[in-house]
Amino acid sequence: MMDTSTCQETQEYLQEFMDDTLAPDQGGRVQAHLETCQACASDLAVQRDIRNRVAAGVPRREPPAELRRKVSEILTPKEPRVWGLLPRPALQWGLAFATLVLISLVSLAVLNRGERIPPILIEAVNDHHSFVMRGTPPTEPTADPHQVRKWLAAKVGFEVDPPMGRPADLRFMGGDVTYFLERRVACLLYGKGHTLVSLFVLPDQGVEVPRTGFRRVDGLEIYVTSREGYGVALWKKGDLLYTLVTELPPDELVGVAKDMVRT
Amino acid sequence: MFRASKGDAATFQHEAVKHLTSLYNFALGLAKNEEDAADLVQETYLRALRFRHRFQPGTNLRAWLFKILRHAFIDNYWRRSREPALEDPDPESGSATLAEVEGVRGEQAGPLDRLVRVDLKEALEQLPDPFRTAILLSDVEGLSIEEIAEIMESPKNTVKTRLFRGRQMLRKLLSDYGN
| A chain contacts of residue B168, beta-carbon cutoff 8 Å | 46
Shortest distance between the Cα of B82 and any Cα of chain A, in A, equals 8
B146 versus A105: the higher-pLDDT residue is: B146
Q: What is the DSSP string of A95-159?
A: HHHHHHHHHHHHHHHHHHHT----HHHHHHHHHHHHHHHH-PPPSEE-S-HHHHHHHHHHHHSS-
- ipTM comes to 0.75
CB contact under 8 A, B78 and A75: no
Task: Identify the band that residue B94 occupies on the pLDDT scale cut at 50, 70 and 90.
Answer: very low
Give ∠ CA A240-A243-A249 in degrees, rounded to 5: 150
Sequence-ordered list of residues with C-beta below 8 angstroms from that of B129, at least 6 positions apart, any chain: B30, B101, B102, B103, B106
| A chain contacts of residue B21, beta-carbon cutoff 8 Å | 60, 62-63
| Residue A192 near residue A248 (C-beta atoms within 8 A) | yes
B13: left (phi over 0), alpha (psi -120 to 50) or beta: alpha
B69 versus A95: the higher-pLDDT residue is: B69
Q: What is the pLDDT of residue B86?
A: 36
Q: Is the per-residue pLDDT at B85 higher than 70?
A: no
Q: Is the per-residue pLDDT at B74 higher than 70?
A: yes
DSSP state of B141: T
Mutate to test the interface with A, among B34, B159, B167, B169 (most CBs of A within 10 A): B167
Task: Identify the band that residue B175 occupies on the pLDDT scale cut at 50, 70 and 90.
Answer: confident
Interface residue A53 vs chain B (CB under 8 A): yes
Cα-flanking dihedrals φ and ψ of residue B11, to 5°? -65, -45
B164: nearest CB among A14, A63, A154: A14
| B chain contacts of residue A74, beta-carbon cutoff 8 Å | 42, 45-46, 49
Cα-flanking dihedrals φ and ψ of residue A104, to 5°? -60, -45
Shortest distance between the Cα of B42 and any Cα of chain A, in A, equals 6
**Tens of pLDDT, residue by residue, chain A (263 residues):** 434 458 888 988 999 999 999 898 888 899 999 999 999 999 999 999 999 999 999 988 999 999 999 999 888 866 544 444 444 455 555 565 555 555 555 555 555 454 578 889 988 988 887 787 666 678 888 888 999 999 898 888 889 989 887 767 888 999 988 877 878 899 999 988 878 899 999 999 889 998 888 888 777 789 998 887 788 999 998 899 999 999 888 888 888 998 888 87
